[in-house]
Amino acid sequence: MIEIRFQGRGGQGVVVASELLARACFEEGLYPQCYSIFGGERRGAPVAAFVRVADERIYLKCDIERPNHLVMFDPSLFTEQQIREQVVQGGLVLFNSDTLQKSDLSQDYKVCGINALQISKGNGLGSIVNTAVLGAYVGITKIVNIDSLLKTIRENIPAAIDQNVTAAREAYDKVFVP
């Protein structure tokens, strides 16, 4: 079983990204579980969404305390120490960042980056980075096939469908390890 935490701010598409990933996993015959936590619904407020994925039914119904993967839509929300305290050692940390450099985290985690904001803006999506971040996550983990993700985006995103598909595909190809 893989446990994933998506962390960002209201308006970035964190919750939708987690739901899209869960749906794509389900389409490939996996067993996903998905839930979110957020306070007052407002732009800019911290938002966390969680996904569990397994090859068999998941009976666990508790919060995800120490995920295997952390997907950071806004890197300012966590310090390096908080990442160490909350993510399983050896896990994956994906940052939405254009300035990601090799750090001490790289010794204990698989650290990856994607400039999702640039990709989203380049595709006319503004600051909503969910499909770009999700494309990068699938690119680095191969948790599902990219075609399954793109199909899920086409079927579940109500507007700017082609732009979201293009953003996900572009990020899939541009995710990097510093």
Alpha-carbon distance of 168 to 134, in angstroms, equals 7
Segment 162-174 shows an average pLDDT of 98
**pTM for the full predicted model:** 0.94
Residues 6 or more apart whose Cβ sits within 8 Å of residue 6: 14, 15, 17, 18, 48, 49, 50, 51, 71, 73, 133
- CATH of residue 15's domain is 3.40.920.10
Residues 93, 98: Cα–Cα separation, whole Å: 15
**What's the domain range around 170?**
2-174
SS3 of residue 48 by DSSP: strand
pLDDT digits (tens, 9 = 90+) for 74-128: 988 989 999 999 999 999 999 999 887 778 888 899 999 999 999 999 999 999 9
For residues 54 and 63, what is the distance between their CA atoms, to the nearest angstrom?
16
118 in helix, strand or coil? Answer: helix
- 14-70 pLDDT, tens per residue? 999 999 999 999 999 999 999 988 666 667 788 999 999 999 999 998 999 999 999
Q: Are 126 and 120 in contact (CB under 8 A)?
A: yes
Domain count along the chain: 1
177 vs 145, residue with greater confidence: 145
Separation CA 114–CA 167 (nearest Å): 11
Beta strands per DSSP E along 42-109: 46-54, 69-72, 92-96
Helix intervals (H) in the chain: 14-27, 80-86, 105-108, 116-122, 130-141, 146-156, 161-174
